[in-house]
Structure 1
Amino acid sequence: MKYISFLYKGENRFGVWLEEEKTVIDCSEYFQDKGESVSTLVDLIRKDCHGEVEFLMEQSEEKYRLSAEDITLISPIQRPLKNIFCVGKNYKDHAIEMGSEKDIPTSPMIFTKAPTSVANPNELLLFPSDVSSQLDYEGELAIIIGKGGKGISRQEALDHVFGYTIVNDITARDLQKKHGQFFIGKSLDQSCPMGPVILHHSAIADPHKLNIVTRINDEVRQDGSTEDLIFDIPELLSVLSKGMTLEAGDIIATGTPSGVGKGFKPPKFLKHGDKITISIEGIGSLQNEISIG
């Protein structure tokens, strides 16, 4: 099941995308009719309403069906309740391209992006040229937490996952270097395009066997697999929750494969007009164009 957030007649709504039928099931309207306060995907996740949506899908009521042509996709989670968790250098080849064999981490490297960094699929990403001259892309699989918890074990970790989406962890490399930390360089407005859908965990047999491809215009830059994660999803959830509570709706970007702009010699940073397409099998493709000026 592919969950989406979208605009319809100027209103923010959420629902299920039936891609082959080119139809959207409007869950916002359904919960409104029921008198339930479930107006966003985060509400649905936090209130554990997936079962109700399955029931709605079985009913196939025409009242809640919209044509995909009449809606505009937006980020599945418009405003995260807190910072987006990110994992640095979680693919061996990427760690090496950013330094050397010595840069391969022995424990997960965690940083965050501000909630205000989220951008929509297909949105034009605007970056002032006087802020950064070294904008880089990072295609990543992101986890959406469904059931919160603290001290989550590896064995139970996947039970805490609601679903998966795509994140582009756009990074200002020059700001990273200047400030000696990640937060500013990772948190520029529109530096976290997300979507186009959240694929429910039940639709993925194994999240550690997904291909990730990033194209800049027509050039393949990244071509990796989540099979190569240094720290897999159970390990990440176990480490993060050891002394900190994870909550429903939290977003965790799991890291990026090799092929980022900085890894080339000379570097291939993003240019004005570049089109970025990140594809993860089963989830779809996240597309954006960059405007620098």
Structure 2
Amino acid sequence: MRLVRFGEKGKERPGVWMGDGRILDVRALAFHIEDYNEHFFTHHGVEQLAELVNDPGAKFVDAAGIRLGAPIARPSKIICVGANYADHAKEFGHEIPSEPILFFKATSAVNGPFDPIALPAEAQVVDSESELAVVIGKTASRVQAADALDYVAGYTVLNDATERIVQKANGQWMRGKGFDTFCPMGPFLVTPDEIPSIGSLRVWQKHNGVVLQDGNTADMMFDVPFLIEYISRGMTLLPGDVISTGTPSGIGSAREPKVLMQAGDVVEAGVDGVGAQRSTVQ
């Protein structure tokens, strides 16, 4: 299934993308499913959706022209992995890490997959990173890699927009990556049964129609099962939490000349089989 949240910003409703121009309005039939949040995943919400899709009383809405929000409500945390692709580590001036580099992205930065990205007033060097993101489906603590995928609710696309000067000036990365709207997510939360192999997915980014990034999850140094094991050793992952798995090479700020986000630009980010988003820069 492909889970979506649709409607006005801040008032999104949970839905299921049917792939035929319709969205299942989940709350119209199941009032107890308020949103795609920690409560939903904890109480086997995904399994309930499979039943709702075939319910004779199901209500569908026309997907045309409807705004899509991020496919999950604000998670307790967004954990990002830096320099997880060797070529990207090199282009960014990093040594190849011996273990994952982790940082948090502000949950207040979450943006819809087709909403504008707003440049902050002090913005000078801003670009994007297309990433495969993992959504946790049940509480995970000290999980073994062999069991890690059992804790995954699904996958989505995350654009790790970053102000590079702020990122480097602060000695840590969070502020440069945490500005409002700097975390477009979605459009879908795709359940694992629709992804045959997360280890061989194309990850790409376009800037004004020109391809900047064109990588593959096969090139990740630390794969999804390892990341879940590594992070959950001392940090409990809650249902709805997001792990963004890093970005391949080709980012705009590492190019010469640099390809930076300016007002009026269009940035697209996608992972084949998971989804694609498109944001206008303001």
User: TM-score normalised by the shorter chain: which range applies?
Assistant: over 0.9
Q: Indicate whether 1:191 and 2:182 are aligned.
A: yes
Would the aligned equivalents of 1:141 and 1:253 in 2 still touch at CA under 8 Å? yes
Do the aligned partners of residues 8 and 263 (structure 1) sit closer, same or farther apart at CA in structure 2, a change above 3 Å counting?
Answer: closer
The RMSD of aligned alpha carbons is: 1.6
Q: Indicate whether 1:51 and 2:47 are aligned.
A: yes
How far apart are residue 240 of structure 1 and its match?
0.2
Amino acid at match of 1:180: G
Distance 1:136 1:95 in 2: 16
Question: Which blocks of at least 5 consecutive residues in structure 2 are unaligned?
Answer: none
Residue 76 of structure 1 is matched in structure 2 by 71
Residue 13 of structure 1 is matched in structure 2 by 13
Residue 91 of structure 2 is matched in structure 1 by 97
Q: Which of 258, 263, 277 does residue 272 from structure 1 map onto?
A: 263
How far apart are residue 70 of structure 1 and its match?
5.8
Distance 1:193 1:263 in 2: 21
Give 3-state SS (helix, strand or coil) of 2:256's partner: coil
Distance 1:8 1:263 in 2: 36
Sequence identity (%) = 36
Would the aligned equivalents of 1:8 and 1:70 in 2 still touch at CA under 8 Å? no
Distance 1:83 1:9 in 2: 20
Amino acid at match of 2:74: R
Q: Indicate whether 1:118 and 2:119 are aligned.
A: no
Amino acid at match of 2:113: P
Q: Which of 35, 42, 59 does residue 40 from structure 1 map onto?
A: 35
Amino acid at match of 1:121: P
Would the aligned equivalents of 1:4 and 1:17 in 2 still touch at CA under 8 Å? yes
Amino acid at match of 2:16: V
1:105-126 CA-partner distances (Å, limit 9, x unpaired) = 1100000111101111211122
Would the aligned equivalents of 2:3 and 2:16 in 1 still touch at CA under 8 Å? yes
Q: What does 1:75-224 correspond to in 2, within 5 Å?
A: 75-80=70-75, 82-99=76-93, 103-128=95-120, 130-224=121-215
Would the aligned equivalents of 2:201 and 2:216 in 1 still touch at CA under 8 Å? yes
Would the aligned equivalents of 2:24 and 2:58 in 1 still touch at CA under 8 Å? no
Do the aligned partners of residues 239 and 287 (structure 1) sit closer, same or farther apart at CA in structure 2, a change above 3 Å counting?
Answer: same
Q: Normalized per residue, which structure has more strand?
A: 1
Distance 2:73 2:137 in 1: 16
Distance 2:169 2:144 in 1: 38
Distance 1:62 1:49 in 2: 18
Distance 2:234 2:10 in 1: 42
Q: Indicate whether 1:248 and 2:244 are aligned.
A: no
Give 3-state SS (helix, strand or coil) of 2:236's partner: coil
How far apart are residue 62 of structure 1 and its match?
5.5
Amino acid at match of 1:31: A
Distance 1:186 1:208 in 2: 26
How far apart are residue 10 of structure 1 and its match?
9.3
Do the aligned partners of residues 192 and 9 (structure 1) sit closer, same or farther apart at CA in structure 2, a change above 3 Å counting?
Answer: closer
How far apart are residue 132 of structure 1 and its match?
1.8
Distance 1:195 1:224 in 2: 19
Distance 1:104 1:247 in 2: 29
**TM-score with structure 2 setting the length:** 0.95
Distance 1:8 1:266 in 2: 38
Give 3-state SS (helix, strand or coil) of 1:133's partner: coil
Aligned residues: 281
Q: Indicate whether 1:263 and 2:254 are aligned.
A: yes
Amino acid at match of 2:274: I
Q: Indicate whether 1:2 and 2:2 are aligned.
A: yes
